[in-house]
Amino acid sequence: MKEKMPKIKTKKTLLKRVKITKGGKMLKKHIKNSHLKVKLGSNSKYRKNRNGIIESTGYRKMFRKLLGKQR
């Protein structure tokens, strides 16, 4: 019998935190943004609602490998 290559499993927790755009940029969501927003000021609420861009190439390569993306 032929041995099959093991299937690469995507990391579901990383899918919730990182998004890859069509152009190949990686966007990350800010932490501590789910509930308990009463403590935060209006500026920090606004800042945390925006997505940040991951600029480090090392992180990009690692995240792409964990997500199973070739591009």
For the domain bounded by 12-67, which CATH number is listed? 4.10.410
Could you state, in order of their start, the residue ranges of all structural domains in the chain? 12-67
pLDDT for the residue 39: 81
Q: Judge contact between 64 and 57, C-beta under 8 A.
A: no
List alpha helices for the chain, DSSP H. 12-17, 42-49, 57-67
pLDDT for the residue 8: 67
pLDDT for the residue 5: 67
pLDDT by residue, tens only, the chain of 71 residues: 567 766 767 778 888 888 888 888 888 888 777 777 778 888 888 888 888 888 888 888 888 888 877 65
pTM of the model: 0.58
